[in-house]
Amino acid sequence: MFKGSNVALVTPFKNNKLDDDTYIKLIHFHIKNGTNGLVPAGTTGESPTLSHGEHERVIELCVKESNGKLPVFAGTGSNSTEEAISLTTHAEKIGASGALIVTPYYNKPTQEGLYQHYKAINDKCGIPIIIYNIPGRSVIDMSVDTMAKLYELKNIIGVKDATGDLNRVDQTLKKIGKDFLQLTGNDDNAFEFNKRGGVGAISVTANIAPKLCSEFQKYSVLSDEKSLTEAKRINEILRPVHHSMFVESNPSPVKYAAKLLNLCEDDVRLPLVKVTKPTKEIIRKALENAKLI
């Protein structure tokens, strides 16, 4: 089951090329520090500016290096259905645990178009699929009714909800039931999200605070008062960190934070740029307050 703290992995670059050695070190960093699952080649992994070959390599390295120690849900979405099928079948072939597939961006399909897109991918593969619903980047919003219809297919198992609307957790739970996995894509609402029926997060902050994020997730899904008190305590520590990760466009802030922690360089690919000096100060202060540096 894909639960808990799952990291939306950054993709490190060196001279604008994939930095394989650093990427491998990052994967083992997460294995050692409590991360529950790995999500390569998503938004935080700069998938829009990875070549097709790079995209496949990032996933291959993640599967190979994790070596079954952690589940790998590969980012294989595209606004082209055929390309999404190609990336997903490749991920399946190399042994990924499942796929995270974003709603098609720019095309603006209808709800029926969304259904047919995911059905086409579902029909061509045999691994679990998590829908990635992020209207802020893809413009469209998949309805709860469409997700319920997709859940009837063999491979659709849940959603990464980045709508920011906590009422969607309640609506989805009521319509589809608790076996449909709900993971938040917004670190800042993870506490309330889990209280309402979520089972974890696909997290940006986990790139730089894997232990804290994992501990938070462990306690936040429990119902006893002691566990919830501990979850609240950790959440307060992480709140400024979560905020600092989105002062500028993701993943530029988290890459700068990773540089401060000597995890990787802060290089990003155009049209993204490195964060500004004021943002650097916000990030540094948040990390210091959380005792990460």
- Just list the catalytic residues: 132, 160
Q: If 0-12 CB within 10 Å is exposed, 13-18 middle and 19+ buried, where does residue 82 land?
A: exposed
- SS3 for 2-44 is CCEEEEECCCCEECCEECHHHHHHHHHHHHHCCCCEEECCCCC
Best CA proximity match to 95, nearest among 56, 48, 45: 56
Rounded CA gap, 184 and 163, in Å?
9
Neighbouring C-beta atoms of residue 46, cutoff 10 Å: 22
- Give the span between the Cα atoms of 148 and 166, in whole angstroms: 18
Could you tell me if 45 and 291 are in contact, meaning their C-beta atoms sit under 8 angstroms apart?
no
30, 60 Cβ separation under 8 angstroms: no
Tokens of 2: 């894909």
